[in-house]
Homo-oligomer: A and B are copies of this chain.
Amino acid sequence: MTVTLADVAARARVSPATVSRVLNGNYPVAATTRERVLRAVDELDYVLNGPASSLAAATSDLVGVLVNDIADPFFGIMAGAAQAEIGGQEGTGRAGGEKLAVVCNTGGSPERELTYLTLLQRQRAAAVILTGGALEDPRHIAAMTTKLAKLADAGTRVVLCGRPPLPGSEAIVAALAFDNRGGGQRLTEHLLALGHRTIGYVAGPAERTTTRHRLEGHRAALRAAGRDDGAGTDGRESLTVHGPYSRRSGYEATLELLRRAPDLTAVVAANDTVALGACAAVRDKGLRIPEDISVAGFDDLPFSVDATPALTTVRLPLHEAGGRAGRLAMGMETPPPGGIATIAAELMARASTAPPRTD
């Protein structure tokens, strides 16, 4: 029924081994022979049996890219860039030695993250790229560390992209970490410099590295200016509210912040999506941006520049980072010294932030 390598060999009047060699292209074969084999392949419309090949070779051409939320362009941009490096040779049409870059959506669930890694391990994946922030739960960290060690043991290359390195994990080829802390700090410094004194912060979900680092940056800036986040200062409530990375969360948290601090003049959001929700809340309260309230985001996703007013945010080079992760996963680029690289975050001051009113 299905045509096998042996059929191709017979038609090309060579041995199966020779066919295998021309298909994999990593062994010298006479040009005329290769030609004959390739013709037979086309004539028979032969498609390599991946599982059989992987079994015999003990590796597969699968590369997994794990993302926390596939509907969020933050991840989509990184994953797309990585895939382009991995499977983007714009092949011959016959699908030669391409890798199969696939993205897996964990939905932010630690269990699914682990499950996907097991599935990828089961497939003997050539490489795995983990994108975005990680959960900081010690149990999960431990589970991840051992799981990644096993993957590495089995020859799978592990690359982190937009995620800090795991403690004491030599299993990892490279970790590309965003400077979330520095970015968060510069953003709040920007607001402080504009004259803001009461700044609300809509943080991401607790226990996530991204959330914590951005918040730390924010607080460091406040502290350096002799301020804190409001909690306890004069008996008032904290000006930090946690929530998921969603528009809705930004909306509700901003309403809550406005309630806690009527003298609020600025809101910093965990990311751009959250910032959009914050903007909506500010408007629904009849306040203007930035005249009454300044709003800032994080990530600089493509839509941010189109917000009205254009959103002040922190730019992360998602495309570049994803592409680099892809090349590292393919062994096409040498890892940074120590396996760790910190990727700079750049402040993008736009129209959604301005000095507070002085009345």
Contacts and interface: CB of A to CB of B under 8 A. Distances in A.
A50 interface: yes
A124 B51 contact: yes
Sort chain A's interface into a size bin: 35 or more
**Residue of A51, A55, A84, A116 with highest tally of chain B CB at under 10 A:** A51
A122 B47 contact: yes
Contacts of A124: 49-51
B104 A119 contact: no
Contacts of A83: 70, 104-105
Contacts of A98: 115, 119
Given A279-B306, A306-B277, A95 B109 contact: no
A126 B47 CA distance: 16
A120 to B, nearest CB: 8
Contacts of A205: none
A33 interface: no
Interface in A230-288: 247, 273, 276-277, 279-280, 283
Nearest to A103: B103
Contact of A76 (B71, B94, B111, B112): B71
Interface string A99-130: 01111110101011011101111111000000
A302 interface: yes
B84 A122 contact: no
Given A101-B104, A112-B90, A114-B93, A77 B73 contact: no
A48 B122 contact: yes
A114 B61 CA distance: 17
A225 interface: no
Interface string A73-97: 1001101100110011011011100
A210 B353 CA distance: 39
A115 B84 CA distance: 13
Interface of A: 2, 45, 47-55, 60-62, 64, 69-73, 76-77, 79-80, 83-84, 87-88, 90-91, 93-95, 98, 100-105, 107, 109, 111-112, 114-116, 118-124, 150, 154, 247, 273, 276-277, 279-280, 283, 302-303, 306-308
